Every structure is written in structure tokens, then in C-alpha cells.
A = this chain, B = another copy of it.
């Protein structure tokens, strides 16, 4: 199938590459053009500008870093809403808040277009292999049409509902759960370590029994090794996602006590340790607070 792709950061480039490798016809655009070159070499067409890409595609994926970028690309004068044809589909893969997702959905709807949220689980190396987990929500017909594209970028697609926000809610709840694992592991490791137990042995015990999941292996090892820099996902990004989960909870009137605790503790890390470290360094705070 024929798709446009806007936003060629690490995640976006990985997804666009996977689409190409699966035989799809991909037109790309990125604010700084240099990032389009490797994809052009793999067979992508490079659009001269955003408006041109939007005007020429019926399906456009975006992978953008934050709300400001998304606002410009989607709602700006040269953006998707202004230039996509009626009936065209915009697939947003960024981790955004539910309020922003609603705004995008409404803007597209007013222009006779369709918005689908499809945030993904997986880091850049997983994106490059086309093995992401795609969490999708939107009108059933649109999701059906998108199935081959999702199959190219992910090893699985899980549909959360017909309302695009539901996919964002699922993704935010997922990131909240990762942060919960980091914090609870940090507390458990601080406890056993101060009692003289070897942390690696303890982590091995956990991950070879009830806790044999990637989330414990990956984040547990980062905490045991104190390998917080360079950051794969920096503290402020983690804090932002927890804040978005709390904001979604606020809209829906769902208190999230662990979410609140994560908010304060991520903020403590940022205020005292700076913004450079990986969010797994939250797992250090219990040690700091216990004088270790």
C-alpha cells in the first residue's frame, strides 16, 4: 500500500524502514531533510514539503517528539488537516495525552478526515526490526485498511477500541506500569542491599521466578549496574508520561496513588540530580533516601 510518513527520528525512521522492507510505497518528510536520506536510499520518495506530502497521500503516519511538533504538523497552515483529502487517514504513533488525541480527532473530523491513534511499545532497535507492539484505536474500517501497515511495523497489533483516545490511554497506563516497576524494584533492591544481600543474585532470583518478564530484566539490570547514562528515555520524558497518565485520570476521575507517588519522586530526581539520566535512575532514589 501507499503511505506517507512524517517525523524521522529514531522511532520514525525505524517504522518507515520497516514499511519499505515490507514492500509498501512510502513517501517521507522530515523537518530537517538530512534524516530522510537513508530512507531515500532504501527506496522512499522524499516529499518537497509537508503540504505536498499531505496532498498526495491517503494514509499518513506521524512520529513526533511532543505536542508542539504535533500541533504544527497536524493543525498548522501547511499541515495535515489543511491539506489531506476528505476521507484520508492520519495515524498518530506518538505517546500523547488523551486531551491532545481528542483535539486531533475533532480537527480531522471537521475536515472530513479520520484520525487513528497507534502508539507503540518498543525501543528504537525494536522499531528498526519491525517488531513493535502496536496499540491501536479508531474507526473499525480505518483499522482494517491499516492492517497491512501495522503488520509491517509490528509483531502484533492490539485494538483498544473505536475511540482513538483509548489507545493513548492504554499506552499511558503501560508507561505508568513500567515506572511502577522501576520504583518498586528500586525500593526492594534498597531494602535487600542495605541488609547485605547481593543485588545481582536477588535480581536473578526474581527474574527466574515470578518476575521473568523483560520489564524486570531490563530495568532491574540498569538499576543493579547503575547504568543511567546515556539515557535511553530520560527522566523528564518519564515525568511527562506519568503526568499525562495523571491528567487522563483526572479527566476520568480515577485516582492513581502510585501515579502520584511516581510524579513526586521523578520530580525529586530531576530537581536534585538533573535531567540527563535515564528514567530507570528513579530506582536509585530509595537507596539515596536510605543513606546508601
Q: Which A residues have a C-beta under 8 Å from some C-beta of B?
A: 98, 121, 133, 135, 156, 158-161, 163, 165-166, 169-170, 172-174, 176-178, 180-181, 183-185, 187-188, 190-192, 194-198, 201-202, 204-206, 208-216, 243, 245, 248-250, 252-261, 263-265, 267-268, 270-272, 286, 288-291
CA A172 to CA B195, docked complex, whole Å: 12
The distance from the CB of A251 to the nearest CB of chain B, in whole angstroms, is: 9
A–B pairs, 26, beta carbons within 8 Å: A135-B205, A160-B192, A160-B201, A160-B202, A166-B192, A166-B196, A166-B197, A170-B202, A174-B188, A177-B211, A181-B184, A183-B258, A187-B257, A187-B258, A190-B254, A191-B256, A210-B213, A211-B215, A243-B250, A253-B270, A253-B271, A255-B289, A256-B264, A260-B260, A260-B263, A271-B290
CA A183 to CA B190, docked complex, whole Å: 20
A254 pairs with B191, CB closer than 8 A: yes
B194 pairs with A254, CB closer than 8 A: yes
Residues of chain B with a CB closer than 8 A to A245's CB: 191
CA A211 to CA B163, docked complex, whole Å: 25
Contact of A184 among B170, B180, B290 (CB under 8 A): B180
The distance from the CB of A42 to the nearest CB of chain B, in whole angstroms, is: 27
Residues of chain B with a CB closer than 8 A to A210's CB: 121, 174, 178, 213-215
CA A198 to CA B137, docked complex, whole Å: 12
The distance from the CB of A266 to the nearest CB of chain B, in whole angstroms, is: 9
Who on chain B is nearest to A289 by CB? B268
Q: A210-B213, A253-B267, A264-B260 are in contact. Are A170 and B183 (CB under 8 A)?
A: no
Residues of chain B with a CB closer than 8 A to A187's CB: 176, 254, 256-259
The distance from the CB of A208 to the nearest CB of chain B, in whole angstroms, is: 6
B255 pairs with A271, CB closer than 8 A: yes
B205 pairs with A248, CB closer than 8 A: no
The distance from the CB of A132 to the nearest CB of chain B, in whole angstroms, is: 9
Q: A170-B202, A176-B187 are in contact. Are A165 and B257 (CB under 8 A)?
A: no
Residues of chain B with a CB closer than 8 A to A201's CB: 158-160
Residues of chain B with a CB closer than 8 A to A204's CB: 158
CA A245 to CA B192, docked complex, whole Å: 10
A176 pairs with B184, CB closer than 8 A: yes
The distance from the CB of A167 to the nearest CB of chain B, in whole angstroms, is: 9
Who on chain B is nearest to A252 by CB? B194
The distance from the CB of A68 to the nearest CB of chain B, in whole angstroms, is: 16
B250 pairs with A267, CB closer than 8 A: yes
A160 pairs with B257, CB closer than 8 A: no
CA A208 to CA B178, docked complex, whole Å: 14
Q: A133-B208, A170-B197, A210-B174 are in contact. Are A271 and B254 (CB under 8 A)?
A: yes
